[in-house]
Amino acid sequence: MSGSTQKLWGGRFTGETDPLMHLYNASLPYDYKMYKADLEGTKVYTSGLQKLGLLTSEELEKIHYGLGEIKKEWDNGTFKRHPNDEDIHTANERRLGEIIGTHIAGKVHTGRSRNDQCVTDLRIYCRDILVEKLLPFMIDLVQVITKRAENEIDILMPGYTHLQRAQPIRWSHWLSSYATYFTEDYKRLKQVLERLNKCPLGAGAIAGHPYGIDRQYLSDELGFNSIIGNSLVAVSDRDFIVDIMFWSTLFMNHISRFSEDLIIYSTAEFGFIKLSDAYSTGSSLMPQKKNADSLELLRGKSGRVFGQLSGFLMSLKGIPSTYDKDMQEDKEPLFDCLTTVEHSILIATGVISTLTVQKENMQKALTMDMLSTDLADYLVMKGVPFRETHHISGECVALAEKLNLSGIDKLTLEQYQEIDSRFEKDLFETFNFEKSVEKRNAIGGTAKSAVLKQLASLNEEISSTN
């Protein structure tokens, strides 16, 4: 490198770059996030060069010293960017030349292209975010939900279909449903991690490494599980980014539905839960308001994440093989997606761990019409076909409504027997919400034993894949 401002690709060009083109082309304002991955990759790569005899031990020692100094500067916020730094790779190599001299620093890129360097950094960066943040945070989210469900196992509430009261369920059953979604998300994210953790380094620009570098060594030292076996694919594959965005979109879809339920439950009309002040805001005009802004933002940001995915897919769809500059459009949506998901997991965990359940309101919302199916089941146990009992139960509901009764339990035995003579006095034992939920004790049901089994299974799945 003949000067501190020379571009990595500048030897072919004699004219000045349009200043706007420089800004349009530069990615350092956002890809600086990968500085640790870039320095780590260069450290291992130069060790690979030394094994080939392309660097002496003394040169390697100086390079590694310089890389360590650069990391300290990034860590403590003293790294000084140069206007001509296009990206994190250019910036780090330029700074290395300033620390140890351009003659030795100019050797670190031997046989390496920014094509394989950049995607190596991306894979390391994504892997670190998944391992150090997203996966542990997902475990915390599931465990907070299951712990709450265990502690509040005795609370009953209406279950809804079509947002209409359907059948009584346990509050813990509702909690378990989202713990199930999030556990599947966790397991799916582990699969994403497995697919992304493959080594592209040593593929060169497109055709492979000209000096026969030991790619297995690079892969092992950088903590990859395997090597990408085709150099063309190694430099151009961005499927792992799409995988992350697909995962993020599905997870945020689950978060959005979770939030929507809690928003509804927090309204005065329902009053099932009360959010902590830490996750609520007030109105600038109406002092009585307590808004579920945390949940509304979780719901809203699901659209943001999906937008990042759809936008990047459109950037990818028409690119010819192998590397093209379009691929620089991977980082901004990826970084935004990862940050949004990380914060969303933490907010969702905070919301569910601090909200207050208003048990009495849940209990009041249970109405006898929700036991209509139980009434049909009563006759089933007497040998009547369910299709017939369903119609009979519907007639009972209709009669109670016609008589303006508060529930089907207010009909007399005589009125029941006028509809069907097979009703007996013990039918009134049907009108018990606790008995109703406890009858549903098959796997996946809302009986206490079934819910506790669900929670135990979820905790086992999370701990076994951790």
Residues in the chain: 466
- Crossing angle of helices 331-354 and 293-316, rounded to 10°: 160
CA distance 34 to 39: 9
Amino acid identity at 380 = V
Active site residue 162: yes
Which residues lie below 8 Å from residue 50, measured CB to CB, with a gap of 6+? Answer: 56, 57, 59, 60
Active site residue 283: yes
Catalytic residue among 4, 226, 276, 283: 283
SS3 sequence of the chain: CCCCCCCCCHHHCCCCCCHHHHHHHCCHHHHHHHHHHHHHHHHHHHHHHHHCCCCCHHHHHHHHHHHHHHHHHHHHCCCCCCCCCCCHHHHHHHHHHHHHCHHHHCCCCCCCCHHHHHHHHHHHHHHHHHHHHHHHHHHHHHHHHHHHHHHCCCCEEEEEECCEEEEEEEHHHHHHHHHHHHHHHHHHHHHHHHHHCEECCCCCCCCCCCCCCCHHHHHHHCCCCEECCCHHHHHHCCHHHHHHHHHHHHHHHHHHHHHHHHHHHHCCCCCCEECCHHHCECCCCCCCCCECHHHHHHHHHHHHHHHHHHHHHHHHCCCCCCCCHHHHHHHHHHHHHHHHHHHHHHHHHHHHHHCEECHHHHHHCCCHHHHHHHHHHHHHCCCCCHHHHHHHHHHHHHHHHHCCCCCHHHCCHHHHHHHCCCCCHHHHHHCCHHHHHHHCCCCCCCCHHHHHHHHHHHHHHHHHHC
Token pair, residue 362, equals 């849940």
Is the link from the previous residue into 110 a cis peptide, with omega within 30 of 0? no
Catalytic residue among 162, 284, 421, 464: 162
Token pair, residue 419, equals 């509809």
Which residues lie below 8 Å from residue 66, measured CB to CB, with a gap of 6+? Answer: 95, 96, 99, 100, 105
Q: Which residues are catalytic?
A: 162, 283
